[in-house]
Amino acid sequence: MIKIFNTKQIQKVFVGISLFILVLTLLPTTITYAADTDGDGVDELVDLDNDNDGILDSQECTSEVIFLEDFSSYVSQATPVAPLSNPNEETEIPYQEVISGSVSPEGWYAVALQPRDWFSALKNFGENPAMGFDGPNLNSGEKILFKAKNLTLVSGNEYTISYKYWWQNSGVPPKLSLFVDVDGASGTTAPVLLGEVDLLGGGNYKTVSSNWTATADSTNAEVYIMIDNYAGGSGGRNFQLDDIQVEKITCDADNDGIQNQFDLDSDNDGCLDAIEGGGNFTPNDMVNAQGTVTVGPGSSASNQNLGNAVNSDGVPNTASGGQGAGAAYNDSVNICDNFIDSDSDGVFDIDDKDNDNDGILDVDECGNVVVTNKPASFVSASDNAVYGNMSQILDGEGAGASGPGPYPYFYWHQNQNPITFNVDMNAPSDINQFKFYSSWGNDEGIKTAIFTFYNGSNMLGQEVLTVPVSYTNEYIADLSTTYSNVTRVVFSFEDDWDISQSNPKRTSMIELVFRHKSECQDTDSDGTPDYLDLDSDNDGCFDAVEAAGNFTPA
């Protein structure tokens, strides 16, 4: 909710409180490098892939979103002040003495979650709403304080807060500062300043992030974003804030003491990172690893990777410029299950259409794939299509039609600001799979698809999928888990091209389908699914004989 206070009514005042209880500080991470851990002849200091799994070291730290506010659930409204729907956040307007010595003057002003005349000048609001203020019409020194509340912090873990900002007109930019309050509004510990942010350039959303390391556990921490209208009146600027996110950073996914960039099995699930990455490598692509890289204690996998035929940056040639992380850090997903050959016919199960060689296709022996019906009228997007309209991305299969319907294409105007789609499901749905129908042209492909799932205002999780830039017909992507009772999906796409404001690339997708892949049925409940069971009903007669092909025991 939004709380509007007169400055004389503010209850939490931090004047003269000692900061001795707990301090969150920026702590440097020290890594001890061997000369050449993976034995590929490229020194660690310049090697971009220090375990030769094809996943670049820059991607080997994973993140878990623990707070997200993109304001996408808000609807258009006339009033400039609107309630916040997320119970884990609030704004205070204005506030006083959050940090000793910062005094806010008397006065009132608004948080606008949809455009006013001044607000719409900042950004074309075909986009979801943001939070901001009318700088030229405020007094100097008036502030907005945005709080992300009830955060769980783990001692020793690194965290990142990120957000986008935009300003307009020729005035003085506001001052923006970040704080962490480890014991929340009811505690006695003063907020700790993480840092002040230098706001650079006007117009166009710019993404800012700041990192810190927690030195103690906390279950009700708050992260503040303080926006100070440093120069009011004609000297102020219109300003808005969007996509506020707090992430927990992990560089040792399985806690085995080996950082992911040196760990051949980072989630300790027995399947090599090189296989679980996004490059579609199989066990046949693996070779024995050189140097001292290892799968770590407890892993059943062999010490293997993509080998030491590497480029000058130390990246295996077979991985080209590197592969995505895929499921390498998710121990609930074991990609190696796809490379079992149950019927020993030389075809991996994932490619085998009949995994028990009974002549009955697996698709006929398993349960159905449920397509989530999604009327296109529920789709909104942060920018317009160049051809057609954005809702057409969901107007074919899954919206009462079969196959793809009419489709749009669109431009990305900035490399760091991809178009965001917001989809309200017509009923709570289970989703664990997507089907992408191909892009319109060869140069319009999508590289990365980012999906965030919600039940109401509660974020269920986020998936980052690596999609082949060029593919024909359709591409099916399995998620790492099943997201249940999904009522809203927010997704965006990034393509594989050099995007610029002056010469943006065109991007298209014929259709996107939300799906729920059911578990394969087990007719006789013997623990073996029908597609692997030679006698699925346990009646003593082989499925191959009982099927419609008129085969005999001979």
The predicted pLDDT at position 7 comes to 27
Is 493 part of a structural domain of the chain? yes
The predicted pLDDT at position 23 comes to 36
The predicted pLDDT at position 263 comes to 96
Please write the tens of the pLDDT for every residue from 4-31.
Answer: 222 222 233 333 323 233 333 334 444 4
The predicted pLDDT at position 497 comes to 54
Model confidence band, residue 474 (pLDDT cutoffs 50, 70, 90) = confident
The predicted pLDDT at position 80 comes to 32
CA angle 457, 461, 462 (to 5 degrees): 115
pTM of the entire predicted model: 0.49
% of the chain residues with pLDDT over 70:
69
Plot region of 120 (φ>0 → left; ψ -120 to 50 → alpha; else → beta):
alpha
Please write the tens of the pLDDT for every residue from 403-416.
Answer: 777 777 666 544 44
Closest by CA to 47, choosing from 56, 343, 28, is: 56
User: If you average pLDDT over every residue of the chain, what do you get?
Assistant: 74
Is 155 part of a structural domain of the chain? yes
Query: Over 90: is that where the pLDDT of 229 sits?
Result: no
Name the domain boundary from 225, 250, 275.
250
Instruction: Give the domain CATH number at 478.
Output: 2.60.120.260
Task: Let me know whether 108 and 243 are in one domain.
Answer: yes
8 Å CB contact between 238 and 134: yes
**Residue pointed to by tokens 């070779």:** 287
Is 230 part of a structural domain of the chain? yes
Q: For the residues 26-44, what does the mean pLDDT come to?
A: 68
The predicted pLDDT at position 472 comes to 59
Phi–psi pair at 49, nearest 5 degrees? -140, 90
Q: How far apart are CA 398 and CA 400, in angstroms?
A: 6
Q: How far apart are CA 545 and CA 273, in angstroms?
A: 42
Higher pLDDT among residues 420 and 417, named by residue = 420
Query: Over 80: is that where the pLDDT of 154 sits?
Result: yes
Task: Let me know whether 233 and 376 are in one domain.
Answer: no
Instruction: Give the domain CATH number at 94.
Output: 2.60.120.200
Is 375 part of a structural domain of the chain? yes
Task: Report which secondary-structure segment, H or E, holds 118.
Answer: helix 117-120
331-335, 532-536, 545-549, range with the lowest pLDDT? 331-335
165-174, 208-217, 311-320, range with the lowest pLDDT? 165-174
Task: Let me know whether 380 and 245 are in one domain.
Answer: no
Is 345 part of a structural domain of the chain? no
Please write the tens of the pLDDT for every residue from 74-90.
Answer: 433 323 333 344 455 55
Please write the tens of the pLDDT for every residue from 42-76.
Answer: 998 899 999 999 999 988 987 788 888 776 654 33
Model confidence band, residue 417 (pLDDT cutoffs 50, 70, 90) = low
Closest by CA to 267, choosing from 237, 299, 226, 307, is: 299
Strand (E) positions, 362-510? 369-371, 379-381, 409-411, 420-437, 446-455, 458-466, 474-495, 506-508
Q: For the residues 521-531, what does the mean pLDDT come to?
A: 88
Per-residue DSSP letter, 310: B
The amino acid occupying position 159 is Y
The predicted pLDDT at position 419 comes to 76
Query: Over 90: is that where the pLDDT of 288 sits?
Result: yes
Q: Which two tokens stand for residue 136?
A: 């030229």
Q: How far apart are CA 542 and CA 538, in angstroms?
A: 9
Is 415 part of a structural domain of the chain? yes
8 Å CB contact between 225 and 241: yes
The predicted pLDDT at position 258 comes to 92
Name the domain boundary from 223, 250, 277.
250
Is 14 part of a structural domain of the chain? yes
Pairing of strands 2-4, 89-93: parallel
Q: For the residues 218-239, what does the mean pLDDT come to?
A: 77
Please write the tens of the pLDDT for every residue from 364-383.
Answer: 887 667 777 777 777 888 77
The predicted pLDDT at position 99 comes to 29
Name the domain boundary from 202, 234, 250.
250
The predicted pLDDT at position 308 comes to 95
Structural domain containing residue 509: 369-517
Model confidence band, residue 92 (pLDDT cutoffs 50, 70, 90) = very low
Query: Over 70: is that where the pLDDT of 423 sits?
Result: yes
Is 377 part of a structural domain of the chain? yes
Looking at the structure of the chain, the number of domains it has is 2
Higher pLDDT among residues 463 and 232, named by residue = 463
CA angle 471, 477, 481 (to 5 degrees): 170
Task: Report which secondary-structure segment, H or E, holds 304.
Answer: strand 304-305
Model confidence band, residue 275 (pLDDT cutoffs 50, 70, 90) = very high
Task: Let me know whether 241 and 373 are in one domain.
Answer: no
